[in-house]
Amino acid sequence: MNSQAVYRTEAGDWRIEKQSDGLYRVTGAGHGTKGNAGFIEQVGGVWVALAGARLDHCVEVGQSVTFDRAAALLLKHGPA
């Protein structure tokens, strides 16, 4: 079962949905956002921000030791 949460930014709301252990998909949740921004993947002790609509075609846009910072890096890049 996938769990999800809404991440609120000045640019709008984003839905973060758990896909599997250590993998989260970030999509628009309305209120000024739409589309698939990408994914956040945990690799060891690092969270990797991956921009793109499909995981197998994503481009890394940043890394952080915190999930929140990785989300901010992904959303700064913009939706795919």
pTM of the model: 0.82
Question: d(Cα 10, Cα 2) in Å, to the nearest integer?
Answer: 26
Residues 21, 45: contact at Cβ < 8 Å?
no
* Per-residue confidence band for 4, with pLDDT thresholds at 50, 70 and 90: confident
Question: d(Cα 29, Cα 8) in Å, to the nearest integer?
Answer: 9
22-55 pLDDT, tens digit each: 999 998 766 555 678 899 999 999 999 999 989 9
Q: Is 60 exceeded by the pLDDT of residue 67? A: yes
Question: d(Cα 38, Cα 77) in Å, to the nearest integer?
Answer: 10
Question: d(Cα 53, Cα 2) in Å, to the nearest integer?
Answer: 18
Q: Is 50 exceeded by the pLDDT of residue 1? A: no
